[in-house]
Structure 1
């Protein structure tokens, strides 16, 4: 019961901190199609950029804790899918940790010397592309989580279905980007499913906080 509440709190913490560091800050600072503007934005808003990096770091640490707790929560439900959920989320956290370097290195260079435009552009683009790589593993994790919640007596089939759609949304978003699909139906579907993913994760967190454990 105690671990269940902790998982719910960790989910909400990740949503809040990640919403800032992976949502608000990049929107304010980064334009992947105009890297010269991005360079100017970061120079003019170094504190926001540093806070974004800090937020990413905190999220990664929380991800490690939540991965362990989720595994212990569901391992009696289904061992195979618990393992899939665990290792896919750990892979995601590892890639996210590596991805922080693409922010830290140019930031460090800005402080000690004038970093080259080419090197800065490479780091920002690499960070952008790597986000889609960790999203693949998170999509797999959400699909595994949908199976686990479906088999667990504490959660409804509706939540499981929403988690499944969310996982498919992450994978579809990655496919659309990496394959270069320029189709309104595909891109709109991916965006809608990503919205479903956010709703399903928040619903899962709230249920963990308010429901009593059945096993």
Structure 2
């Protein structure tokens, strides 16, 4: 396909930006909205009922996560070739970090499917309903906890990508510096959720950094789609 033949062209950059934006759209749906509709905090029984009675929404969420994985693979490969001329080693490191994140995200899906199987009784059918609800909820927790793992890899990816953006002369330096500055927000979020859940100061810092890096990522994706990339 011709669009994939020239990583320094504007059509190539625009397609990369589309994949980046698709990740954001599907992520908002599958990672944020769907769980908020199915999981009831502190009520394993209600969560199990939602999984069984709203399995269509559950599978839509799984489908959204699969779509994220596909878009991530394409985006990762295309970003690697865009920034390879800037620094081949760091571009490859950024790609490896992002693909490591994708691997964790793929593994998380097994726990989602297992949770539905337990809730419906196709897995561990001899369990009492109360126990089944607790097991299904625990499996969903493990799935969600995977976010704390992949965010570590994504922190590394964004730090390196931000440097590449800033040094490329093909994109606004400010976007790269914002990526670098805000990338630690993902790592802080993992630490806040798992290591120091009661640290209010860390949660505040995390919120600021995540807002910063989200602005940078969306801005970068929109720049790719709208402006493409400058010719150096």
For the pair 1:90 / 2:70, whether they are aligned, the reply is: no
Of residues 47-56 and 164-173 in structure 1, the stretch that sits farther from structure 2 once superposed is: 164-173
Q: Please identify runs of 4+ aligned residues in structure 1 that moved more than 6 A.
A: none
Aligned counterparts of 1:45 and 1:18: Cα–Cα separation in 2 = 20
> How high is the TM-score relative to the length of structure 2?
0.86
Aligned-residue offset at 1:154: 1.6
Q: 1:213 to 1:111 in 2, by over 3 A?
A: farther
Aligned Cα root-mean-square deviation (Å): 1.8
For the pair 1:112 / 2:122, whether they are aligned, the reply is: yes
Structure 2 counterpart of 1:125, from 130, 141, 151: 141
Contact 2:105 2:150 in 1 (8 A): yes
Mark the structure with the bigger radius of gyration: 2
Q: List alignment gaps of at least 5 residues for structure 1.
A: none
Q: Deviations over 1:146-171 (max 9, x none)?
A: 11101110222211121113311001
Residue of structure 2 in register with 1:198 after alignment: 214
Residue of structure 1 in register with 2:198 after alignment: 182
Structure 1 counterpart of 2:71, from 62, 65, 83: 62
Contact 2:84 2:91 in 1 (8 A): yes
Aligned counterparts of 2:134 and 2:50: Cα–Cα separation in 1 = 17
Aligned counterparts of 1:118 and 1:34: Cα–Cα separation in 2 = 9
Q: List alignment gaps of at least 5 residues for structure 2.
A: 1-8
Q: Deviations over 1:83-141 (max 9, x none)?
A: 22100000000000000111112223427365723431331111121111011111111
For the pair 1:153 / 2:169, whether they are aligned, the reply is: yes
Residue of structure 2 in register with 1:53 after alignment: 62
> How high is the TM-score relative to the length of structure 1?
0.92
Q: How many residues align?
A: 215
Structure 2 counterpart of 1:25, from 34, 38, 49: 34
Aligned counterparts of 1:96 and 1:64: Cα–Cα separation in 2 = 12
Contact 1:81 1:147 in 2 (8 A): no
Aligned counterparts of 2:48 and 2:196: Cα–Cα separation in 1 = 26
